[in-house]
Amino acid sequence: MATLQERFKRITTFIFDVDGVMTDGSVNALESGEQFRTFNIRDGYAIERAVHSGYRVAVLSAGSQVGVRKRLEFLKIKDIFMGGPTEQKIYAYLGYLNRDQINEAEVLYMGDDIPDFQVLSRPNLLSTCPADAADEIKAVCDYVSPVPGGRGAVRDVIEQVMKAQGKWLSWLTDVEPFKLHNER
């Protein structure tokens, strides 16, 4: 059986749930009926680095809030699957893999609650969850982040993968140092 580090090295695709993973699971309900979420900026930075480095990043969520979709689009996530029935996440997941011919052994999925159970239980993907995931989810995951959902768990798994592959800070060596006008 491959070690966790070896499995991190194989990842080409990240798939994330939203509520409880990219957010802390809180829903703020306004009098207008709008429900908004709060996202972690460091998670967003890691997602941008992953996309820029050529990883596939997808989101699979039963929610369908316009504001959430706009945030995901701002992060340059192209594969956004939102609004399906919670108990049918498995079908959206399998459809995505089939559509893009993605090798399941190269997928890292992060979920936090019972609707993610069928996906996280698949033996070939790298199943992950935040520290505050449901106990049933923690029991089936290959990696439980030490960080709670919405507080950096997404960044944790992206960093783990990119560091294992030598890509996390590799872009820094490509950046020309900024020189002040009076430096020559």
- Sort 134 into a burial class: Cβ within 10 Å, 0-12 / 13-18 / 19+: middle
Instruction: Say whether 19 counts as a known binding-site residue.
Output: yes
Distance CA 18, CA 79 (A): 13
Residue ranges in the chain assigned as alpha helix (H): 4-10, 41-52, 66-74, 89-100, 117-120, 135-140, 153-164
- Sort 23 into a burial class: Cβ within 10 Å, 0-12 / 13-18 / 19+: buried
φ, ψ of residue 36 to 5 degrees: the values are -120, 155
Distance CA 167, CA 163 (A): 6
Instruction: Say whether 132 counts as a known binding-site residue.
Output: no
CA angle 131, 132, 138 (to 5 degrees): 70
Binding-site residue numbers for substrate are: 19
Binding-site residue numbers are: 17, 19, 112
Binding-site residue numbers for Mg(2+) are: 17, 112
